[in-house]
Copies of this chain bind each other. A is one copy, B any other.
């Protein structure tokens, strides 16, 4: 077991050139073809692999970018991750994924790693609108793009979907389908996505006038996870006058909602169910599920493109890109 490392010096000696020349060969500097060839041969013969750590130290920048997401078990984020990867694919940058688990401590740790490892850039779906602190990265000039969720006070590029509009369209659809006691199960307080989707729900209800229900009696905050959705739905079902439809602010919670409904023998569209974000493998569900479709892949792709531009030093002003959602009507909201 050889632990010995082959360095640029070893290659240089073997090829009869200077270390600088070897470096040039590996970095596209001007070198005569024959010299370049002999360097490559020497490198291959010795099994040379460049030390990226040394390179990063010298260049003050590594060639990896971090993607920090709050829930690796949510297909929405894994799809987003695919978008990021595919965009980075065509560059020399590698993407590493970090799962913050909706935990601001874990997230902070990863943010520190990204900073300390001098990563070329960071894409982050923030665990919290308030606590996620991007300032150290920004202070050091590391390009950062916020995706899906937007940390409050951060001066960063951002890519999101039209949460409020999507929530409004969804709720209006429910109203038009004839539902009258429409509930909303949204995410944690303080998450931009939670608040905006809820705002859309309220707007639709208010503008419907007399159809507007009793304040927030039908509003629940949960945790964007299956269990949270299930618990919130159980609560709503236990109300003296349970809702006849529910707008659920994310895919995972919708699964919990459907489970809770099944427990008590109710099924859509008797109780209308509309999910913000497609449930994975929804094709297997009967009745099929009406959902606000989110361009998860494109979200990642767009964020990565933006980041790559910043890394290349493009100086355009900060921008926020908003991607459209689209309501896909199916059976679960056919009417009470």
Contact = CB atoms under 8 A, between A and B. Distances in A.
Interface of A: 1-3, 5, 47, 49-54, 56-57, 60, 62, 64, 66, 72-73, 75, 78-79, 81-82, 85, 94-99, 101, 109-110, 112-113, 115-118, 136, 138-141, 226, 255, 258-259, 262, 279-281, 283-286
Contact of A112 (B49, B53, B81, B280): B49
Contact of A116 (B53, B112, B118): B53
Contacts of A109: 94
Contact of A140 (B5, B57, B101, B112): B5
A68 to B, nearest CB: 10
Contacts of A118: 51-53
Given A53-B56, A281-B226, A99 B116 contact: no
A195 to B, nearest CB: 27
Nearest to A75: B73
Contacts of A115: 49
A53 B117 contact: yes
A266 to B, nearest CB: 14
Given A94-B110, A116-B50, A136-B49, A280 B283 contact: no
Contact of A72 (B82, B283, B284): B82
11 contacts: A49-B115, A51-B57, A72-B72, A72-B78, A72-B81, A72-B82, A72-B97, A73-B82, A97-B97, A255-B284, A259-B283
Contacts of A140: 2-3, 5
A279 B52 CA distance: 40
A286 B258 CA distance: 13
Contacts of A139: 1-2, 47
Nearest to A81: B72
A229 to B, nearest CB: 11
Contacts of A284: 255, 258-259, 262, 284-285
Given A57-B57, A97-B96, A116 B281 contact: no
